Amino acid sequence: MTSAATPRAYRRLSVEDRRAQLIDTALQLFAHRAPEDVSLDDVAEAAGVSRPLVYRYFPGGKQQLYEAALRGAADVLEQCFAEPEEGPLMQRLSRALDRYLAFVVGHDAGFSALLQGGSVVETSRTSAIVDEVRRAAAEQILRHLGVTDPGPRLRMAVRMWITAVEAASLIWLDEGKDPSVEELRDWLVENLVVQLVTAAGRDEQIAEIVGYVLSLEEPGGVIPRLAQRILPLVEAASELG
């Protein structure tokens, strides 16, 4: 977009806007290439600015730019999770997942690179940013479930599900986005439901949550449809003895 600008046009942006533009440019480049393959030259060229200017904003070089981009991605992801506390819980979760998966699709290779280990630019600081996003997701889920003091099984179930979502996103990109994004979303929502239902028999708090989730469901919702679909299998399995 700005790469077609004249050499002097970039002087007009404020410091904050310029910084945001460079981070945004870096994120776009990371969408197609791993962070270690993106140079400050590439960012300067894509943003239509000089290399010294990029260095003025990110004197720490590539590593600083990468961390700023990751920070920016984390902020966007955390906004994805925000959802009003009303209506069936699984509809809220579906909407949050739609936003999250749109981010995944929009950033593709960059998303994989940001989340996956093995990046040469990965440090304890970048790991901390990724962990912060996971924690924010867990907090949102617990808030919607009305839980302030999660027990070990609930904490584990929620953390496991968040990791499963991350892993599923990476695997799904790796598998060429097959099945469709809508099916993936429904699968992930159902995954949380069945995981909680499975754990409900072993944990009083999770049993209460399952009751709460069911109480907010509407006819034709995710959970009734899922339950109707699996009921024959569950009945057959329970009759095995």
96: which residues sit within 8 A by CB, 6+ positions away? 80, 81, 82, 83, 140
State the alpha helices, DSSP H only, in 176-238.
181-200, 204-216, 222-238
Site for a copy of itself contains 124 (CB under 8 A): yes
Name the residue nearer to a copy of itself (CB basis): 56 or 155. 155
Segment near a copy of itself (CB under 8 A), from 65-73, 98-106, 141-149, 229-237?
A: 229-237
Q: List the interface residues with a copy of itself, window 131-160 (CB under 8 A).
A: 152-153, 155-156, 159-160
The residues in 160-219 that bind a copy of itself, with binding defined as CB under 8 A, are 160, 163-164, 167-168, 171-172, 175, 178-179, 183, 187, 190-191, 194-195, 197-202, 210, 214, 217-219
102 part of the interface to a copy of itself, by CB under 8 A: no
CB of residue 235 vs a copy of itself: minimum separation in angstroms? 7
With respect to a copy of itself, which residue has the nearer C-beta, 81 or 161? Answer: 161
**Residue 133 parent element (H or E):** helix 124-144
Estimate to the nearest angstrom the gap between the alpha carbon of 33 and the chain centroid: 19
DSSP string, 11-65: GGS-HHHHHHHHHHHHHHHHTTS-GGG--HHHHHHHHT--HHHHHHH-TTTHHHH
Q: Would you say 79 or 123 has its CB closer to a copy of itself?
A: 123
The tokens describing 133, both together, are 């996003």
Using CB under 8 A, count the residues that bind a copy of itself: 60
Kindly tell me which of 3 and 163 has the beta carbon lying closer to a copy of itself.
163
Q: Can you tell me the distance from the alpha carbon of 4 to that of 85, in angstroms, rounded to the nearest whole number? A: 44
Asked if 13 and 89 touch (Cβ cutoff 8 Å), the reply is no
Alpha-carbon distance of 109 to 97, in angstroms, equals: 19
Chain positions contacting a copy of itself, by CB under 8 A: 116-119, 122-124, 126-127, 152-153, 155-156, 159-160, 163-164, 167-168, 171-172, 175, 178-179, 183, 187, 190-191, 194-195, 197-202, 210, 214, 217-221, 223-224, 226-231, 233-241
